[in-house]
Amino acid sequence: MSYNGRKLKYFVDDSDGWLRRNQQVAEQFIMAEDDRERKEMLSLMAPQVHFASFWGVVRGLPAVVALQAQEREHLRITWTSGLQPLTSRTFARNGYVHVLDRERMVAIPILGPWISSFFQRPVQELLVVREGRVVFRSMGYVWDIGKH
């Protein structure tokens, strides 16, 4: 029996009944993250949340604040897709990351942002929500097999 991945992504198993509530929490979380609403974002996270980024994995709310500061200082992220449920507790969205301090190219007037746009890389953010709280967040590069 074969499965079509494009068709299957629209059918998410919701046997435990948490999909709708967890999806609302995940959407509120990404809106707070994108709008830089730190207090709202932290209120949606479990106290011992695992938060992964390009600088490593941290655990706990104070460490999340520090890691978010690193992301905001060094990265510009453009999201190209909305939040997609993978399971009733796992959600993903895709986008592109642009490293701002790559050889100080961005600081070049007029041409800097255009030149540095060639260095954008695809990224994926994954969220795991349990019982109305974000317990895991991971952001990393999307790797293509055979290219790297």
Assess contact for 48 and 60: CB atoms under 8 A: yes
Assess contact for 101 and 92: CB atoms under 8 A: no
Residues 52-110 pLDDT 10s:
988 889 999 999 999 998 888 888 888 999 999 998 899 999 999 887 765 555 566 66
Res. 14: pLDDT tops 90: no
Mean pLDDT value of segment 114-141: 87
E strand or H helix at 42: helix 38-43
Please determine, looking at this structure, whether the domain spanning 16-141 carries the CATH number 3.10.450.50.
yes
Write down the pTM of the prediction: 0.78
Res. 31: pLDDT tops 90: yes
Q: Cβ–Cβ contacts within 10 Å for residue 33, how many?
A: 20
Res. 6: pLDDT tops 90: no
Q: Which of 76-80, 105-109, 126-130, 139-143 has the lowest mean pLDDT?
A: 105-109
